[in-house]
Structure 1
């Protein structure tokens, strides 16, 4: 496994651990908060429950802060990775891929035109269809002389 895949796996694992910590803290906090208190509870028992709730709340806040920090780290890595220079070989591959995508889009566009023309002909016509650029029709009066 290469370094980038290992790093991504570690970041994903950290995220999962932090989310599990947050969910556990929330569950424990609500269990403490919703546990019934009987009339015989002493001041010590009440203080212990209060301290436990504060501890769980602090753990929840810490895990949330860690998750935000991890999110920032992931964004930094993504930006730094996106700014790496593209090699000539990769650039050629992207050009070939983009040409394929544009030709597929052109074919899809032509099929949609033909479908529209067939539907219009079946409905009795009533309009004309002009093939133009992707920028849309020219604005009247803006033609160059």
Structure 2
């Protein structure tokens, strides 16, 4: 097997691993969310389940980000010619798919931020978060809520 074929195989294997990670995390998230809770559940048990669900959701987001990074790496390889370029129609479809993935990822991030905001408001405190720079955008600090 030559180097280009080996590289393509490694990229395909990495993609399959990331998709499997996403599917596993989503399955585990829904299993946790849909598991019955009886009347005797303690606050600790409820907190443990909430933490486990947040961890699974974070794993979905991380794997999705890794998949988008892999997509970018593949596109870079196409540009420098290491992989055979695709037709314009396929490239356009990939752009649409990438936009959809980014939209879903942004929705998940917004939900997490809103959840953090609600927890902070319930605790009576405020905090700020920093939006890291990405894809040419500079980072900025945005207030979530003002301290009371």
Unaligned runs of 5+ in 2: 83-148
Q: Which has more strand, going by share of residues?
A: 2
Q: TM-score, normalised by structure 2?
A: 0.55
SS across alignment from 1:21: helix
Q: In the TM superposition, what is the alpha-carbon distance from 1:58 to its structure 2 partner?
A: 0.4
1:68 corresponds in structure 2 to 68
1:59 aligns with 2:59: yes
Residues 95-134 of structure 1 mapped to structure 2, 5 A cutoff: none
> Aligned pair count?
83
SS across alignment from 2:31: helix
RMSD: 1.4
1:18 corresponds in structure 2 to 18
Distance in structure 2 (CA, Å) of the matches to 1:51 and 1:28: 13
Q: In the TM superposition, what is the alpha-carbon distance from 1:20 to its structure 2 partner?
A: 0.1
Q: Per-residue CA shift, 1:71-122, capped at 9, x if unaligned? A: 000001011107xxxxxxxxxxxxxxxxxxxxxxxxxxxxxxxxxxxxxxxx
Q: Which runs of 4+ in 1 moved over 6 A?
A: none
